[in-house]
Amino acid sequence: MRKKATLITGAAGEVGQALVERVVEQNNTHVISMDIKPLPPELDAKVQHIVGDILDHSLFDRIVSRYDITHIYHLAALLSTSAEYSPMLAHNVNVGGTMRLLQLAAEQSEWKREPVIFIFPSSVAAFGMDSLENKAANPRPEEWEWNKPITMYGCNKLYGETLGIYYSNHYQQLAENEPTMLDFRCVRYPGLISAFTVPSGGTSDYGPEMLHAAAQGKAYASFVRKDAAISFMAMPDAVGSVIQLANAPRENLTRQIYNITAFSLTAEEFAAHVKEHFPDAEITYNPDISRQRIIDSWPIDMNDDAARRDWGWDPEYDAEKAFSEYLVPNIRKRYEK
């Protein structure tokens, strides 16, 4: 008998580290984590971590020969700014890696006649507003609106969503033989902010970078304008959301792709929260044209009514609480050390 396990890819990344910690805490499954990088030692001690490339097929074959994978949290991806520098690599990792894992989950579901639950974090980057006027006029798009991403990462995420829907509903058009399909569930994250890790390679990074710089007494020049507006979420909510979605009864889910969001801020409003806690913070604005264009294409907010209705999505942290109860106290401790 193979041992039941949960697989987390991209485990050494920002969301990955927080998710591994939380899934391990729940103590109800064996956790196999994977990344091209090692985990920090304190986390590595808690899981079985595999350092390897998502594109290495033999790795997955070895994993399924030993483990019965019940859940997959597929986080491995190149983020939006990095993907613009290396579009081919981004496509290979973001699409090729996703496709490989979906294929594996589809085969495993069919073989053991039990759906593998496949959680895919997509992104606000799957949207593409074509002008600032339309961005202002359509602040809370539904999941299916404005799906015209302008970044490689956004294209990859949107296609990853489509592949997930294909593999979980139409794989090889086998419906007549009643195969067991995998159970694909997806959230679209806004910009995420962690107190414990600093992001890299994303375009929403100006928010967390501003805060972490202020906590270290460093000046920060934002790469987007003051009026640049998108939505954000504190990391505990981001991690909680995917666990909550994974545990939601299948029959409650009316769709497979869900927008989720917590609070929406302009860069200037973000800076005001930072300055409330770090009054000496030196924050200036020096927009980078390319990164600004990306942020201008993302909606101000997202309509997450379906997630709230179907599986009880309700973020714990609004902006005020995120800064005062989660971000600032933990960041202070981090840099005091």
Q: C-beta of 178: minimal distance to ligand AKB in Å?
A: 37
Q: Which stretch binds ligand AKB (CB under 6 A): 16-24, 200-208, 249-257, 318-326?
A: 200-208
Please identify which residue in 23, 69, 104, 125 interacts with ligand AKB, judged by CB under 6 A: 125
Query: Footprint of ligand AKB on residues 66-85 (CB under 6 A)?
Result: 79-80
CB-wise, 79 or 306, nearer to ligand AKB?
A: 79
Decide if residue 302 touches ligand AKB (CB under 6 A).
Answer: no
Please identify which residue in 16, 97, 160, 191 interacts with ligand AKB, judged by CB under 6 A: 191
Q: C-beta of 327: minimal distance to ligand AKB in Å?
A: 16
Decide if residue 234 touches ligand AKB (CB under 6 A).
Answer: no
Q: How far apart are CA 103 and CA 186, in angstroms?
A: 16
| 153 catalytic residue (yes or no) | yes
Decide if residue 17 touches ligand AKB (CB under 6 A).
Answer: no
Residue nearest to ligand AKB according to CB distances in the complex: 202
Q: Which of 204, 97, 104 minimizes the C-alpha distance to 159?
A: 97
CB-wise, 197 or 204, nearer to ligand AKB?
A: 204
Decide if residue 261 touches ligand AKB (CB under 6 A).
Answer: no
Decide if residue 229 touches ligand AKB (CB under 6 A).
Answer: no
Distances (CA, A) of 113 to 171, 178, 179, 186: 15, 10, 8, 22
Q: How far apart are CA 95 and CA 68, in angstroms?
A: 24
Q: Which residues are catalytic?
A: 153
